[in-house]
Structure 1
Amino acid sequence: MCAIAGILDFSSTADPSASAGKVRHMISRLRHRGPDDEGYIQSGPCTLGAARLAQIDRAGGAQPMRSPDDRYAIVLNGEIHNHRALRAELSLHWHFTTRSDTEVLLAAFATWGREALRRLNGMFAFFIWDAQTHRGFAARDCLGVKPFVWMPQPQGGFAFASEAKALLHLLPSSPVANEEAILEHLVAPCFSGVRTSMFAGMHHLQPGHWLSVDRHGIQQGEWSRYDLHRATELSADELVPAMHDLLPKAIERTLDADAPAAVLLSGGLDSTLVAALAKQHGVTQAYTISFEGQDAFDYAKALMVKSDDLPCSIEAASDIGLQHRIVPVSRASLADDMRTLALQNDALPAWEQELAQHHLAKALAADGHRAVLVGDAADETHYGYGFMLDDQSISHPGKLLARFGSPPLNAEMQQRAAHIPHDLTSMMREAGHADQTRADRLRGITHLITRLWLPRLLHNGDIHMMAHGVEARVPLADTDLLDLAVRVHPELALKDGVEKSLLREAARGLMPEAARVRRKSSLSKDDGSATVLKSEALHALDASADFLFHWLDLPALRQMCSPHYELAEMQRALLFRIICLHHWAAAYHVRLP
């Protein structure tokens, strides 16, 4: 796991020392992602840098890494979970000198070229420089677990980094807000921050895409997609045993690293399944968040958090035999936490559950953990959300967005925001998902969820864990498991009105029964935060009035912050986003377009 960065300068007046200084500065902004060591390579117009969080072959896996003939140089952020199997195959073509998965990826690319991507099982974003052709090649894993941000440079140049904040010093002046991206963040937070950066002029390499760059320009293409057209009419009798057998293998592959891992445990299906299977491979410690007054929250009225995780996680940890640390969060830290989140997450915090990720990461790092297994990706790839059972919510993206409330935009932005649900509908239809049948609509909404919602969720998990030098591993994003999950017909996945029905059946016997049948409830958040949110929102409206006025109806927001106004759940979420937007703009000196 690493921070990676690089610059290509194809100009006739290129100064390698200047590029080297810039890349060193970029890595200095990313050292939280790689506290173990750092390295740099300069090859012609290309300068690469990496800061490493060593997980496999600490002694031999230093980056950047060169091929023996010096033709290729690579920087890799992530892990190749099937590196041992690939190593065995590639040993016929390559003399390995390290145990690292980075060298396996380098050998795979040198041997198979772009076709190597289809052989990889893991989470990754990488860049390879070819000194012979003077061409760079980048790729990102199919779900977007690992980030890759890039930006064109003068005279056809190119720069990239693991996080957008590392590129800011390359701009000619202070950054400019991406107007449409921020509008999407306010109106459709769960789908935001994936297709475009919040900073104008920066770009995200999309999940499952590759990028090639040389002095003639940039080319991009898609190499992998979670393609729901592959869903078949296979029966549960065929699918359940296959998935039951595959789940333990996916966990085992994820744990094939030198650094031991802990687990995050909510007591629900996904995290408990991961925890139970990880325990069989030596994982002993679980972590659960606990917010102040959590046991008294009114879950009956909640939209996403349907029950208290704490007693369920305590029971699950006891049943599995895990050491269990409960991480308490005091409301007194909320104001400071929101500022921290905004600085860490340069895609802008999208939901309050990021507070839980932040505090869990701090606790893991304080206890000396460098890796943690999470249950992410199951809900999105196995039809796991409760709104999938609501015909109204799946009828149109606009209906789904309506569940999460509408912010008080100013008149101009209110008009412009109308295109967002239509764009999402177009995205579904361009992917070939019509809406004639319920199954069509379920696939269409799931297409949006796997292409936008899930990458946003994975981005948040990566960036908040790596802010504390902790690697989040996602075993339920295992490539073989995804290949099986995509074949499940939506009606079979939601059989008898139960979300993730087939996954639940496949997990029978692999985990505690109480957690296996527990209904979906999102990661906990603080439902008693209204007073702090109102106070901090008023401060934001005063301090960043000109900036926020560009998008929002400020009088309506001020009314929402009045002492006697009772905030609904989605209004609390909106104030959270607005406060974070203020902190983000102030910290990075972001200008209006």
Structure 2
Amino acid sequence: MCGITGLFDSRGQRPIDRAALQRMNDSQFHRGPDEGSLHTEPGLGLGHRRLSIIDIATGQQPLFNADRTVAIVFNGEIYNYQALMSELQALGYVFHTKSDTEVIVHAWEAWGERCVDRLRGMFAFGLWDSKRQTFFLARDRLGVKPMFYAALADGWLLFGSELKSLLAHGELDRDIDPFAVEEYFALGYVAEPRTIFKQARKLPPAHTLLWRRGEPMPQPRPYWDVRFTLDNGITAEDACAELRDRLQEAVRLRLIAEVPLGAFLSGGVDSSAVVATMAEVSGEPVNTCSIAFDDPQFNESAFAQLVADRYQTRHHVETVKSDDFDLIDTLARLYDEPYADSSAIPTYRVCQLARQRVTVALSGDGGDETFGGYRRYRLHLMEERMRSALPEGVRKPLFGLLGKVYPKADWAPRVLRAKTTFEGMARTSVEAYFHSVSILRGPMRDALFSPRFKAALSGYDARQVFDAHAARAGTDDPLALIQYLDMKTYLVGDINTKVDRASMAHSLEVREPLMDHELIEWLATLPSDLKIRGQEGKFLLKKAMEPKLPHDVLYRPKMGFSVPLARWFRGPLKQRVRDAVLGPRLAETGWFDRKYLQHLVDAHQSGVRDYSAPLWTLMMFEAFLRTVVDAPAVRRPASQQEAVTA
């Protein structure tokens, strides 16, 4: 696990600004504190920060092939590297290390850009082939590892594991993309492939970018996608047995390391299933880490302890105060973009705790998306059944009217909170799901943004992100469609982003067996009623784990990894939220309606409405502007600029 960065001259062999490359590499020190290296040659600069996990003695990067015509910097883990190494040795390739990095180098020599088809793992890498005069970027199928890049007007390509490495170069414009702002206030993150800055992009998951020197800038190309065929006729009993076998394989592959290894244990189904499986395949007790909260409403530690006791893990618990809100500016700097998932706070803390004991931790991330665990999935399926019962010509005008006139009643019993349901019934399936996951829904964003900002959007709506993915989903099954949408948006933009930045801030590698792509491909063949049956989400996973986990862990209500924002904003953060949302930094952008900002703050702090999620989203945007956009820009001396661009 590492931080990678670099420069590629697409137009020739201009000299590398080594000082800029050093800044780019140093900006990611936290991702790899063990070692740091640079490689430069005319037209190419590669930087690497190393967190040593596998082949500690000889796995240094940048790494080259035998005649030094291929060079790579790589972030991640290739879990099937030993099998690939044997296959490549049979083809005549000689290995000088025991690292998975060298496997990628020889896989490129053997199979070219299709080498990614053979890789099973989480990865992002940049590779230079001087014989072919080709630079190659690649990212893993589920977007576990990040990859940012920017093509400058003068033909230079910048890339890095984090956006801060591109900013450290000094020539990346900090002009904010209004489309990205729209996506952020809808979703809480900027969706792939966009970044908050116009000039930079994220390489989408399961994509590569191959740029031959002297040719125009290419477009990223997909190499994989999940296909929900739902045509597997397996019985539930046999599916449970096969799932247990597949989980064992996915976990076993992720236990290869030369450093201390453990797992997160929240007390939820997913992390508990991973820990139970680890205990079965490990030869020694598992190291587990949990965060407890001093507020019982958010505390799952008792359930984590049940699992730890059952498998006699070396369990470590740290209690976090419910007023642990001193990370706001830290998180803004960490994520480089506005990012509004408040569970980043406990995630940061559990990574901090885990790093005191281990260097690698397995997580249960991806379980909700792949097994059908979110409550919103069940609600969406209920709405879909209602939508399908009425012709669209009747449904849209009827429920559209009801949605407009029915009052929003956050204070009322749940059965009377029908406004959102009515609004959802008037929409298409994709529109309704986008509406349900939005932090600030369409009417709220319309009220939030100023006329000036709406003009900059030119009609763009973040729903177009979902529409584009839905067009490629290849399924009209109601559950499979929204699982696909989540895998392309929420899983990548929110969950994977949160865990990567929080873990790497503490130089901790996190591995995700429930996002093993072969496991996901198999699950996509299973009928949806093996994922949600009646009102029971994660039906198959829970049934498969019944012999291995306590009933109270499997079948208790889902709690989630959240923090008490609503109370914070009416109590200890009352003045801070007012200063941030109504202060000068947001006002000077000219993008927001002052009266609506005032309404959000006043209505929440008076207790009339719960606007905690929109207010947190605004606070994190303001913190991003202060700590990232307003940070002093690094500019190269004029003499260096001339040398590089001559």
TM-score, reference length from structure 2 = 0.83
Question: Which position in structure 2 is the counterpart of 1:2?
Answer: 2
Question: Which position in structure 1 is the counterpart of 2:373?
Answer: 384
**Closer, same or farther in 2 for the Cα pair 1:418/1:203, shift >3 Å?**
closer
Question: Which position in structure 2 is the counterpart of 1:410?
Answer: 449
Question: Which position in structure 2 is the counterpart of 1:256?
Answer: 256
Task: Provide the C-alpha distance between the structure 2 equivalents of 1:178 and 1:332, rounded to a whole number of angstroms.
Answer: 34
What is the deviation of 1:106? 1.4
Task: Confirm or deny: 8 A CA contact 1:289 1:524 kept in the other structure.
Answer: no
1:358-398 deviation digits (Å, cap 9, x = unpaired): 11122223x14222111001111121211211136666344
What is the deviation of 1:418? 7.5
Task: Confirm or deny: 8 A CA contact 2:267 2:301 kept in the other structure.
Answer: yes
Question: Which position in structure 2 is the counterpart of 1:446?
Answer: 483
Q: Which range is displaced more, 132-141 or 401-410?
A: 401-410
Q: Check if 1:475 corresponds to 2:513.
A: yes
Q: Check if 1:490 corresponds to 2:523.
A: no
1:545 alignment partner, one of 569, 586, 594: 586
**Closer, same or farther in 2 for the Cα pair 1:370/1:554, shift >3 Å?**
farther
Question: RMSD of the alignment, in Å?
Answer: 2.4
2:348 alignment partner, one of 348, 351, 358: 358
What is the deviation of 1:431? 3.2
1:237-293 deviation digits (Å, cap 9, x = unpaired): 44322212111111111111112222111111100011122234135322222334x
What is the deviation of 1:101? 1.0
What is the deviation of 1:13? 7.2
What is the deviation of 1:180? 1.1
1:374 alignment partner, one of 363, 370, 373: 363
What is the deviation of 1:12? 5.3
Task: Confirm or deny: 8 A CA contact 1:291 1:525 kept in the other structure.
Answer: no
Q: Check if 1:320 corresponds to 2:311.
A: yes
1:176-218 deviation digits (Å, cap 9, x = unpaired): 112111211112226x332310122100000000110122133
* Counterpart residue identity of residue 410, structure 1: F
* Counterpart residue identity of residue 448, structure 1: L
Question: Which position in structure 2 is the counterpart of 1:76?
Answer: 74
Task: Provide the C-alpha distance between the structure 2 equivalents of 1:466 and 1:386, rounded to a whole number of angstroms.
Answer: 30
Task: Confirm or deny: 8 A CA contact 1:27 1:49 kept in the other structure.
Answer: yes
Q: Secondary structure at the match of 1:544?
A: helix
1:521 alignment partner, one of 552, 559, 576: 559
Task: Provide the C-alpha distance between the structure 1 equivalents of 2:588 and 2:383, rounded to a whole number of angstroms.
Answer: 33
Task: Confirm or deny: 8 A CA contact 1:144 1:207 kept in the other structure.
Answer: yes
Q: Secondary structure at the match of 2:192?
A: coil
**Closer, same or farther in 2 for the Cα pair 1:44/1:511, shift >3 Å?**
farther
What is the deviation of 1:524? 3.2
Give runs of aligned pairs for residues 54-453 of structure 1, distance below 5 A.
Answer: 54-92=52-90, 93-172=92-171, 175-189=174-188, 192-215=190-213, 216-219=215-218, 220-229=220-229, 232-280=232-280, 281=282, 282=284, 284-292=286-294, 294-295=295-296, 297=297, 308-334=299-325, 336-365=326-355, 367-390=356-379, 391=381, 396-403=429-436, 404-406=438-440, 407=444, 408-412=447-451, 419-434=461-476, 440-453=477-490
Q: Secondary structure at the match of 2:318?
A: strand
Task: Provide the C-alpha distance between the structure 1 equivalents of 2:608 and 2:156, rounded to a whole number of angstroms.
Answer: 49
**Closer, same or farther in 2 for the Cα pair 1:418/1:312, shift >3 Å?**
farther
* Counterpart residue identity of residue 420, structure 1: A
What is the deviation of 1:330? 2.9
Question: Which position in structure 2 is the counterpart of 1:301?
Answer: none
Task: Provide the C-alpha distance between the structure 1 equivalents of 2:242 and 2:323, rounded to a whole number of angstroms.
Answer: 48
**Larger-gyration structure (1/2):** 2
List alignment gaps of at least 5 residues for structure 1. Answer: 298-306, 435-439
Q: Check if 1:464 corresponds to 2:502.
A: yes
Question: Which position in structure 2 is the counterpart of 1:300?
Answer: none
What is the deviation of 1:314? 2.1
| % identity of equivalent residues | 26
2:32 alignment partner, one of 31, 34, 38: 34
Task: Provide the C-alpha distance between the structure 2 equivalents of 1:392 and 1:399, rounded to a whole number of angstroms.
Answer: 12
What is the deviation of 1:515? 2.0
Q: Secondary structure at the match of 1:495?
A: coil
Task: Provide the C-alpha distance between the structure 2 equivalents of 1:13 and 1:324, rounded to a whole number of angstroms.
Answer: 54
List alignment gaps of at least 5 residues for structure 2. Answer: 385-427, 632-646
Task: Confirm or deny: 8 A CA contact 1:533 1:575 kept in the other structure.
Answer: no
Task: Provide the C-alpha distance between the structure 1 equivalents of 2:553 and 2:487, rounded to a whole number of angstroms.
Answer: 24
Q: Which runs of 4+ in 1 moved over 6 A?
A: none
**Closer, same or farther in 2 for the Cα pair 1:509/1:113, shift >3 Å?**
farther
* Counterpart residue identity of residue 150, structure 1: Y
* Counterpart residue identity of residue 263, structure 1: A
Q: Which range is displaced more, 273-282 or 77-86?
A: 273-282
TM-score, reference length from structure 1 = 0.90
Residue-pair matches, total? 568
Q: Which range is displaced more, 65-74 or 413-422?
A: 413-422
1:135-166 deviation digits (Å, cap 9, x = unpaired): 11111110000000000024322110000011
Q: Check if 1:566 corresponds to 2:596.
A: no
